[in-house]
Each structure stands twice: as C-alpha cells, then as structure tokens.
Structure 1
Amino acid sequence: MTPIQDGTIGSVVVVGTGLIGTSVALALRQRGVRVYLADRDAGAVRLARELGAGEEWTPGATADLAVIAVPPQFVARQLLDLQKNGAARCYTDVASVKALPVAQAEELGCDLTSFVPGHPLAGRERSGPAAARADLFLGRPWALCPIAETSAEAVQTVRELVALCGGNAVTVEAAEHDRAVAVISHAPHVTAAAVAARLAEASETALGLSGQGVRDVTRIAAGDPSLWTGILSGNAVPVAEVLEVVAADLAAAARSLRAFAGEGTAVAEVTDLLARGVVGTGRIPGKHGGPARTYTVVQVVIGDRPGELARLVQAAGETGVNIEDIRLEHAPGLPLGAAELYVQPEAAEGLAEALRERGWQVP
C-alpha cells in the first residue's frame, strides 16, 4: 500500500459499489486512503468489503470527500441526502452524463460550492463489484465539470482524487461533455447493440463463420441493458442527434447498394462512407493520448493451452521489440488460435524472424 504524499484526502465515502465505485475504492485503498462504502444493495457492499475496497459507512461519520457512484438520474438526490448528513466537506460523482445531474442538483437546492461533477472515461463490459479493478483508471481521461458556484477547494480536492486513482483530469463544460460522450461512447454503444441484435436472429452457419471482426464491433454491446438505458435517457438529445446522422449514412449506403444490385450503378455513397470511416479512425488518439499510430501486425499461431501466451510474450520480450497491443483469435473447433502482435512497422520483420528461430509458427 503506497501512502498518501502531502495530500488532503485521508478518508472517502463511496456511495455505490458497482464497477466504477468499487474500482475507485480499490485504487484509493492502495494509496492508503480510508474508504467507507455505502450501497442500497447490502450484498454489493459485503462483496466490495471482501475484495478489500473498504469498510461499511455509518451515517454520521464525516469524510474529506464523497464519491457518488450511482446512475445519472439519482446523483442529485444522493448529493442532497449526503449534504444533509454532513457526510463530507467536498463531493463529486462519476456518472457518464453531466448536464442532467447539475440541473437537478440546482432544482433541489444542493450546495453547489462543494460539488464537482466528474466522469472517469473508463469501464468494462462487465458490471458489479466483482468486475472492479484498482488499475481501471490508470492513464485514462477523467472529465471534471465544475460550475460557476464550485469552490477552488472542491476542485483541488477532486483533482487530488483523480491523481490518486491514476487518471488524467480534463476540465470541460457539462453540456460539451455530454455532446462529446454521445459521439465517443453512448451512440457507439447503441450502434454496436444494433449490429449484435442481428446475431440473435442469425443462423448457426453464420455464427460458426464469425471471426474477430464481428467480435470487435459488438464487444461493448454486452453491457447491462438497464444500466445503459439510464445512461442513454440521461443524455437523450445529444445521443439521438448522433444516431440520426449515423442512420442517415447507413440508409444512404443501403440505397446505393440496392441500386448497384439492380442496375449495376456506382456505389459512391458506400465508398464515401468507408473513406470517412478511415479518416475518423485515424483521428482516435494513440497511446498516452499522443498522435494516432499505424502498427504492423505479426501473427503467431499458438496452442490453446495454459501458459502458451505467457511463453510467447516472453519470447517476444527477448527480442527487444516493444509489443504495443495483443489480440487473440481462436480457431473454431481446433485447439489453437492466432495471437496478433501489434508492433512498430520497422520492427515487424525482425520480430517475425526472431520468433521463427525460437520455434514459433509465424505465417
């Protein structure tokens, strides 16, 4: 456990022991912060405690900071209740929608001077305390959306929280935040769900032919529907605007393909959409928030056995080549698969040859 260095946060109340709340608690515990846990679900609190996330909170105890980790529509009411109990000197939340909680907090008459709306942009497809990880926020952006009334002390305290969890604080206005996450998170989740929904009706033949591509596109669609319904309804208009544009692009592509099938005409709309997709993908920041990089993939055949991937990583490390990313694809019906090692283009050929010399099958 790494102790706090010159910090003002000695104790934190985490309300909501789901994935994000418990991950915050675990990260703080690793830094020596005393963490109190609260949740309407006693079982979730019990599991979070067993994972080492903290101790159960007794109303009346006061902490330096309260972290509200509940769905967006419940943030303001929870904030008001905590402030009435004097739970902490500063407050923040981790909901993925910001304008709604702020507006509701104003309507309820919450003390906005001590409240810093926040949103760590990190997560997993799995939910609940069992999925929590202390390193979930390492290097990830953490949006902070202070309003005019927010005090400098509260902002500094929450920035300290972000640093303790290993995140990178990014200050952004609440409405701008909501428009941004509609594009990069909320609408993509809905579109992934739309693609994945087609698989529910797909034939066994189609599913048997599925590869990494469909897994990549649909991965995030495995999220909890009830949780995501709350998120999407809290950011309804910005998400709807993005989905309408996406739907228009898809409709134009469909019309173009039908025209081509019937008359053999050009599919300019499809080409244009694909080209814009390449441009958009290229704008996604690379590692550590730097410029996007194009990596070369070195594919290695590996057996589906315990320790095989570890052996491959060790062999690659012995070559001195930095592995930027790794993806696995299993061969249906066979006890083997392919590991895709993403490396700098100039290192690919040398890595492939070195792995072959060590006995690995590199196509």
Structure 2
Amino acid sequence: MKSEEAPGVTITECASCVDERGAGAAFCEACGRPLTAARPDRADRPLDEVDQVDQHDEPRRGEGGRGEGGRGEGGRDGGGRREGGAADDRACPACGTPAAIGVDGYCGHCGMLAGRPRDHLESVAGAAAAVTDRGRRHHRNEDAVFLGGPAGGIDVVICDGVSASFDPDVASELAAETAGQLLTGSTQPLPARVAAALTAAATAVAALARTGDPRRAASNPACTVVAACVRGAEVGYGWVGDSRAYWLPASGDIVALTEDDSWAAHAIALGADPQAAWRDPKAHAITAWLGADAGPVTPRTDGFTAPGPGHLVLCSDGLWNYLAEPTTFGDTVRAHLAAAAGAPHPLLAAARSLTAFANEAGGADNITVALIPVELTPAS
C-alpha cells in the first residue's frame, strides 16, 4: 500500500510553512525561505494560520487544450533554489522587486514564492471542460489533467500525485501528458486504447526514479490516474488508484464506473462495515499506483455505449472526498450543471463551481474535475 506518510529521506522542515523536503534541499520548495531545523510546535497548525506569501485574491488561470501545464522535470536545480528569467510583470509580494517572478513562480531576487501558474488551471475542448486547483491547504498543485482529442472526440486524463513520494507533481504531469497524447493518436478500440495509454504512463512515471536524482531513487515519484476516451456515444475508460469516473445520465441514477484501489475499498469488499472502514486511518492508503515501486501495473479498463445523453465526470479525491456516496455526488453535480446552464461555457462554469464547492468544504487536497458531454450522434 502507498500511504501519505512522509518517506524516511525527509530530514528537514520549513520553520515558516512546515513543508517537509528531502535531504540536501537548502530552500523550502513551498515558500522559498531557507530551511531550518524542524518546528514541531507548528506541525499541527492549519496552513492558513501560518505566515504565507503565496496566497492570492484571484487564482492564476491558464486556458487551452490541456490543463496539465506548469512545470516539467527542470523545475528545480537540485539544491532547492531556483534560477530563471521573469515570467510576468508582477512585483514580488515579499521584497517588492518589479518583474521579478520567474517561470516557476519564485522571485529571482529574494527567492520567495509568489505563486505558480499550475495553482489553478482551466481547460476547454469543444463543450468539455476541466479545472484543476491547488485547494486551500496544499502548498502546490500535485494534480494534473489532460483534456483534448481529435475532431469528433474527447480524451481526458486526471492524475493525482502521491504526496508521500518525491516530485509527485512531476509524476502526475508526465502521466497525464503521456496518456493523453496516446489516447488522441490511437486507433485501437476504446478500452484497449485506454489500457495502452495507462500502461505507457506507468512506464514513464517509473522511469523518473532512474534519472540520477538520489531523492527520486529513494522516494519514487508516484501518482494515480483515471482516463476516458469518448467518441460519440462510445466511451472507454480506465484507472489505477483512487481517482474516479462517473456516468451521469440526463435522467436516471448516477453510475460509479471505477472502484477505488484503496485499503478501505479492499476492506469493504472483504465484508468490513463501510462506515468503519472509511473511518480507519488507513482508509485512503492506495493499493495501486503509477511509480517505480508499484510493481507490475495492470490498469482496470472497461467501456460502454451510452443509452442516452449525459455527462462523463472524472475527478480526483479532492472533490469526491466531500461527496463520497455516488447518489450525493450525482445530485451535487446535477445542481451545479443546472446552475451553470446559462453560462457562455456551461461545463466550464460548472467545473469552476464544483471546484469552489470543494474549497468551501475545506479544500484539504488538490481538486480536479472534468465534465464531458456524451451525445448519441456517432463520432465523425
């Protein structure tokens, strides 16, 4: 099982924001301050009670065919301090230096974090839409989403980085991009196409542990994945981990398409009381993931022909944790879809409002949701 417990290589802690980093880091990845000895008196404090400089009145948004952007493997230089040219004309909120914010969101003058573009991203592809957001308590967004597809089709991939691993944000971004590109370019039957894409993503993420960085080798980058391929009324989908997919028909009951690869789901399948299983501290420990330490990865895949119009909904646990029961999830999504019906882009508005709902409910994790319309007309 893969838990959210911090791996043994973490030996330093930021005294300002309590973000733990691996051995050898000189600066905090979360806020940019120099790392100091651990401050256990701050360990249990909520993030919004700790002095932060990376909070903004308005999220930074990126719109386009993909929502997985932000930072690739070159986002840090190995010592915790970043270099790079200015990415925009904002003044640093910490030192006031104008136009000092680099492409990774850090001030090139004082090193403090001013915010990353990946903190909040929005994507549209035709009528489909996706939003990914850092949430209220995490220092960075470790979720990633791909939204695209050929004419007449939509492909979507959502990945949730495993926070206990090193570089989970790199893992999720790489997995989403790898799987998404393969989905869009493949001509296989949809479930086989999804299986091949997720297998390729697993291989790519596992390779991150062999890039020569000892921190990655000691704590393998890891993530979950859920993906779907829609061509007219035909839907193929698959997953590894606890990110979810649902079919929400225009009328009728919602259908949970995925089964969590988690300790709680496994215990419930063996006969445990569901409420007791979900209260257990091990409930959210995942039993399958993408990463070098995952062992052989066999994505679970399936497909169906939509019997009528509806929506495919994919999300990370940052949303479904607040709506764990499928019926409650479906009722909530329907309410947000109805409220957004008059918006210029209804599904983007609904995805935004669902993200806001999760943040208002606590925002304890990164939040990602994708809404894909499914019609009965055949794909062209």
Counting helix residues as a fraction of each chain, which structure ranks higher?
1
User: Which is greater in Rg?
Assistant: 1
Counting strand residues as a fraction of each chain, which structure ranks higher?
2
TM-score, length basis structure 1: 0.26
Ranked by relative contact order (alpha carbons within 8 Å, sequence separation 6 or more), the top structure is 2
